[in-house]
């Protein structure tokens, strides 16, 4: 408990303020907005709109560390070396990076007893595609964000992507389909990572909601994320891994910066090493 209090106190001054902030074109083709609410829940959220038609724009995902010779029958999966979103962003020179699929094994018992730590091997739940190669199947019915080599984005309902897909990450459920919100299975209030696409498939929306920080941001229900995504223009939306995995890193002034307030093992500001990531890159 003393460790948690000490590390939290060190970070609180760096946490993004509970205030509105709009930055147009933080990178070419990428707009950012931070919002805050107080009723019915206290939330701080971060919304990005990515114009996939921007010259040089690319979407990438984490490449696995070890891949089975043959992945088949929805049983085999590549293994990924866990790393934080910030480390992934730094290694790949991304302009924006977020956490991706749910993954396993995982536990977080105490601030010093948790898995995975950086470099530990884990597997993802649901489909992943990196550089055009399918690395995992997992749950065959989990929906998946698919981005082609020509930057055409879709969210597919049943875990399969078109043949020309270059990058893909999966989530546990769609929250918006054909422009309409889907009745969520629960109303849990959690930190959340949600991605969405417009009907034309040339815009990608990224929503990060901080949580588990009572007086700062409690988290969000699916209904809240649906509202934000619909207002942004999302025609389809997908819920990715949430909770302590939720992290947003944006390149600013040549340095990778954590833009949200992650929380892992009850320590505010601590990033969780996760299996895979989604990154926006620009080839200049």
Q: Which pLDDT belongs to residue 7?
A: 54
Tokens of 243: 């909770």
pLDDT greater than 80 at residue 10: no
Q: Which residues pair with 146 in a beta bridge?
A: 154, 168
The pLDDT tens digits for 257-272 are: 999 999 999 999 999 9
CA distance linking residue 23 with residue 190, whole number of Å: 26
Q: Which pLDDT belongs to residue 122?
A: 94
Contacts of 59 (CB under 8 A, 6+ apart): 52, 147, 151, 153, 166, 167, 204, 278, 279, 280, 281
Average pLDDT over residues 73-86: 81
pLDDT greater than 60 at residue 69: no
How many Cβ atoms from other residues are within 10 Å of residue 63's Cβ? 16
pLDDT greater than 60 at residue 114: yes
The pLDDT tens digits for 36-66 are: 999 999 999 999 999 999 999 999 999 998 7
The total of structural domains in the chain comes to: 1
pLDDT greater than 50 at residue 73: no
- What is the span of the domain harbouring residue 209? 2-282
Average pLDDT over residues 122-130: 93
């Amino acid at each position: 408990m003393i460790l948690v209090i000490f590390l939290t106190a060190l970070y609180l001054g760096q946490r993004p303020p509970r205030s509105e902030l709009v930055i147009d074109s933080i990178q070419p083709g990428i707009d950012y907005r931070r919002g805050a609410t107080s009723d019915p829940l206290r939330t701080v959220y971060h919304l990005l709109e990515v114009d996939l038609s921007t010259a040089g724009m690319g979407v990438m995902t984490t490449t696995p560390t070890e891949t089975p010779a043959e992945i088949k029958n929805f049983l085999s999966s590549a293994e990924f070396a866990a790393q934080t979103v910030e480390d992934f962003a730094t290694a790949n020179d991304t302009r924006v990076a977020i956490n991706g699929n749910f993954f396993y094994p995982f536990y977080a018992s105490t601030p010093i007893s948790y898995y995975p730590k950086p470099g530990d091997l884990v597997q993802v739940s649901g489909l992943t595609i990196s550089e055009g190669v399918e690395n995992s199947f997992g749950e065959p019915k989990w929906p998946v964000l698919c981005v082609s080599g020509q930057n055409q984005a879709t969210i597919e309902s049943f875990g399969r992507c078109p043949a020309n897909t270059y990058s893909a990450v999966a989530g546990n459920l769609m929250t918006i389909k054909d422009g309409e919100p889907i009745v969520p299975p629960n109303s849990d209030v959690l930190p959340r990572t949600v991605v969405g696409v417009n009907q034309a498939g040339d815009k990608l929306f990224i929503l990060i909601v901080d949580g588990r920080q009572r007086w700062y941001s409690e988290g969000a229900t699916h209904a809240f994320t649906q509202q934000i995504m619909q207002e942004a223009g999302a025609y389809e939306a997908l819920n990715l891994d949430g909770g302590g995995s939720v992290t947003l890193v944006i390149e600013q002034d040549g340095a990778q910066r954590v833009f949200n307030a992650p929380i892992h093992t009850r320590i505010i500001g601590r990033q969780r090493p996760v299996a895979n990531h989604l990154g926006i890159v620009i080839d200049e």
